Amino acid sequence: MGRSHIMAAALIAAIAVTSVYSLSLPSLSRKGAIDSATVEPTSPTTAGPVTLHVSVAGPLLLDRFDIRQIGKTLTIRVYWKELSEAGAGPTEETIPLGILSEGRHRVLLQSYCENRLGGTAQLSFEVTAASSSGVLETLDDVWVTPADPTTSDFATVHVSGHWPTAGFARTVTLTRLNGHTFNADLYWTSPEDGAAYVVTPYDYEAGFRPVFAGTYAVQVRIFLDGVLVDSASLNFDVIPDADEDTGWPWNFAF
């Protein structure tokens, strides 16, 4: 065989080999393998809920997740379903963890695709106590009825709000009327770890008799675990009753 024939044969063989190895191979990543897992906010506090962000290999659909907690260790199992249509991964989802207690928490994460273990991961993060300033928007509305009270009416202060999870408990309520200022302090305690992740509304009302005409101020404060987290205030006017005797003595009925 001549030199030219040998070079041609070698070139053909090289092309053949190259064509074999250029074939696209299926991804070696197991479906459901965990690419990343992080929490948000990155510096969580006891004043707000924590969310886990998970990214896994493959175009998948979140089926369900299960959270079990012992102390400050959360074991989370995430179950995925394969999508019938073709697509590119990865798949990203968020899992609510609710409001957690102060301290270092550990997450043991397991990912299942069609009930087959796809991957595991571990992470830990620190939850710090909320600062003394209001950092949690829990109050929705504060109002007074009747809308235009007189000195013979019994005024009622209404408070409505919500918590990000179930399990919050109101332990103490302190109300007082000091001149033309009505104060209401509502004290709550945080739920135990693992409370249901549903927004839970609350309401409260308290009454008093504004015996003097003029402008009144209402101040409502919300305390969570002894820390002030939210507050609201409003002013309203009280007018003299048209049928009320404006002479002495004053009507001090309560």
| Predicted confidence (pLDDT) per residue in 50-65, tens digit | 889 999 988 898 999 8
Residue 48: which domain range?
Answer: 28-127
| Total domains, the chain | 2
Asked if the structure places residue 2 within a domain, the reply is no
- Which of 68, 96, 127 corresponds to the end of one domain? 127
Residue with tokens 């001090």: 252
Number of neighbours of residue 77 by Cβ within 10 angstroms: 15
Length of the chain, in residues: 254
Residue 57: what pLDDT?
87
Residue 249 predicted with pLDDT over 60: no
Residue 236: what pLDDT?
92
Residue 106: what pLDDT?
94
pTM for the whole thing? 0.51
Do 232 and 163 fall within a single domain? yes
Do 102 and 185 fall within a single domain? no
Average pLDDT over the chain reads 81
Do 173 and 228 fall within a single domain? yes
* C-alpha dist (Å) from residue 147 to 32, 150, 164, 183: 58, 10, 30, 18
Residue 41: what pLDDT?
87
136-150 pLDDT per residue, tens? 789 999 999 998 899
Do 118 and 149 fall within a single domain? no
Are 27 and 88 in contact by the 8 Å Cβ rule? The answer is no
Residue 78: what pLDDT?
94
Asked if the structure places residue 18 within a domain, the reply is no
Do 123 and 87 fall within a single domain? yes
Asked if the structure places residue 248 within a domain, the reply is no
Asked if the structure places residue 181 within a domain, the reply is yes
Do 168 and 231 fall within a single domain? yes
254 confidence band (pLDDT: 50, 70, 90): very low
